[in-house]
Amino acid sequence: CRVCKIAVLSGDGIGPEISRVAVDLLKVAGDIEGVNFDFTDALIGGAAIDATGSPLPEETLQICRTSDAVLLAAIGGYKWDALPPEQRPEKGLLNLRAGLGTFANLRPAVVLSHLADASTLKREVVDGVDIMIVRELVGGIYFGQPRGFRTNEQGQKVGFNTMVYSEPEIERIAHVAFQLAQKRQKRLCSVEKSNVLEVSMLWKEVVTRIGGQYPDVELSHMYVDNAAMQIIRNPRFFDTIVTGNIFGDILSDTASMLTGSLGMLPSASTSDDGPGIFEPVHGSAPDIGGQDIANPLAMVLSAAMMCRYGLNMPQVAEHLEKAVTSALDQGYRTADLFSEGTQKVGCSEMGRVLLKCI
C-alpha cells in the first residue's frame, strides 16, 4: 500500500469546512485504490497570524516541504485586512508559493453542461468551453526587485514595482504549457503586451523559440487586452493559454466567469520536483464561514488535481471527479448553484452525498 504525505492547510473562513469534505473523500478513494493518505494539518493565513503572529510559520513551510503535496483551502478575512502588507494573510500564500518554488499555476475553466446556464454569458457562447490557463506564479511583478516606496526630488511619495522575467524563467513555464497543450487540443496561445513592454518582448521571443521543440503544437500570440476581450467574445478559440503572473491573475478570473461558478474551479501549482499546491480558485468567503453552506466542490476537484498532477494517481482523481459529476447529475446543489428544480444541500451534506457517489 502506497503512503502519501499530504499537508492540509485549511486556512480561514470556509476553509476548514470544505477541506474536511475533501479529506474524507480522499480517504475513501485512497482505500479503494490501495493508497494510504497521511494528512498533517498546518496553519496558514489569518489562522496562523492569530496563533503565531506570522501568516506562514516556519513550521508550516517545513511540513509542506516534507510532504508529497499541499492541499490548501483558502485564506484571508476582514479581521486581518488592516494589518500592514508584510503581515497579511496573502503574504502567507505568496511566501508559500515562493518557498516551494511552484512556478506553474494551472487553472482550468471548464464549462459543465449542468451549469452552463449559471453563466452570465449566453449558453451558446460558453457551451463546450475547456480552457487551461498556465500562469507563471513565482516571478514577474509579484516578486520583481526593486520594489517599494521612495521620495522624489519634489519631496513627493512614489510607489514602484518591477515586472521582470529572465530567459530560464520563461523557458520552464513554456515547457510546462507546451507539454500540457500536447495532451489537450494542441493549441497554445501566449499572452503578453509586447507592443509596449520589453519584458513581454522577451517573453514572446523565448516562447517562440521553445515552440520550435513542439512542432505538433500550434502556437499563437495575443496582447493581454485583446485576450481579455476574446475570452468573452469567443472563448472556444482558446485551448491552452500561457502567461505571466499578473496577466494570469486577471485572465484566469475572467475565464472563471465563463463557467458561472467560482465554486467549481480548482487549481494546481507545481514545481519541477517538490510538492505542489492544490487549491480552489475561490476565496475564503468570510461572510459565510462556519455556516455549513459553502460549496466544497472546487476543493474536492482541487484534491482530484492533486492526485492527477501532483501524485500521479489518476485513478484516485477519477473517483473524486466522478463523485462530483454524479452528485450534480442527481440534482444536488449548494446555495451558490441552487436553481428551481434542484435539491439544496449544505456543505457537510454535500460531503455525505459525494461519499455515497464514490
Ligand X SMILES: CC(C)[C@H](C(=O)O)[C@@H](O)C(=O)O
Secondary structure element (H or E) that encloses residue 48, with its range: helix 45-52
Q: Closer to its own copies by CB, 246 or 355: give it.
A: 246
- CA trace torsion 242, 246, 251, 253 (10° rounding): 130
Q: 225 catalytic, yes or no?
A: yes
78 binds, among ligand X, its own copies, none (CB under 5 to 8 A by kind): none
Q: 24 catalytic, yes or no?
A: no
Pick the catalytic residue from 225, 272, 287, 329: 225
Is the CB of residue 167 less than 8 Å from the CB of residue 202? yes
Pick the catalytic residue from 91, 193, 309, 332: 193
28 — phi, psi (to 5°)? Answer: -65, -45
Find residue 269's DSSP bridge partners: 105, 277
> Which residues contribute to the site for ligand X (CB under 6 A)?
90, 93-94, 195-196, 225, 249
120 near its own copies (CB under 8 A) = yes
193 near its own copies (CB under 8 A) = yes
152 near its own copies (CB under 8 A) = yes
Contacting residues for 351 by C-beta, under 8 A, at least 6 apart: 20, 21, 24, 25, 296
Pick the catalytic residue from 249, 309, 332, 336: 249
Q: 249 catalytic, yes or no?
A: yes
Binders of its own copies among residues 235 to 254 (CB under 8 A) are 246, 249-254
Q: Closer to ligand X by CB, 137 or 354: give it.
A: 137
Sole binder of its own copies in the list 148, 212, 215, 341 (CB under 8 A):
148
Q: How many residues bind its own copies (CB under 8 A)?
A: 57
Find residue 6's DSSP bridge partners: 39, 69
Stretch of 64-72, 116-124, 266-274, 309-317 lying at the interface with its own copies (CB under 8 A): 116-124
Closest by CA position to 64, among listed 95, 20, 106: 95
**Residue 313 has what DSSP assignment?**
-
Q: Closer to ligand X by CB, 36 or 195: give it.
A: 195
- 3-class secondary structure, 201: helix
Q: How many CB atoms lie within 10 A of CB 160?
A: 10
159 near its own copies (CB under 8 A) = yes
In this structure, the strands spanning 130-136 and 104-110 are: antiparallel
Shortest Å, Cβ 121 to its own copies: 5
Q: 336 catalytic, yes or no?
A: no
Shortest Å, Cβ 21 to its own copies: 24
Is the CB of residue 224 less than 8 Å from the CB of residue 191? yes
Q: Closer to ligand X by CB, 190 or 194: give it.
A: 194
**Residue 118 has what DSSP assignment?**
G
> What cell was used for 337?
448553484
Closest by CA position to 3, among listed 34, 24, 28: 34
Q: Closer to ligand X by CB, 161 or 185: give it.
A: 161
Q: How far is CA 164 from CA 141, 150, 203, 302, 353, in A?
A: 6, 20, 10, 30, 47
98 near its own copies (CB under 8 A) = no
Sole binder of its own copies in the list 161, 179, 182, 271 (CB under 8 A):
161
Q: 186 catalytic, yes or no?
A: no
Pick the catalytic residue from 142, 165, 214, 309: 142
d(CA 215, CA 225): 27
50 near its own copies (CB under 8 A) = no
Shortest Å, Cβ 253 to ligand X: 7
- 3-class secondary structure, 315: helix
Find residue 221's DSSP bridge partners: 190
Q: Closer to its own copies by CB, 144 or 274: give it.
A: 144
Shortest Å, Cβ 203 to its own copies: 7
Interacting residues toward its own copies by CB under 8 A: 85, 88, 90, 94, 120-122, 125, 141-142, 144, 147-149, 152, 154, 156-168, 193, 195-203, 224-226, 228-229, 232-234, 246, 249-254, 256-257, 262
Which residues are the active-site residues?
142, 193, 225, 249, 253
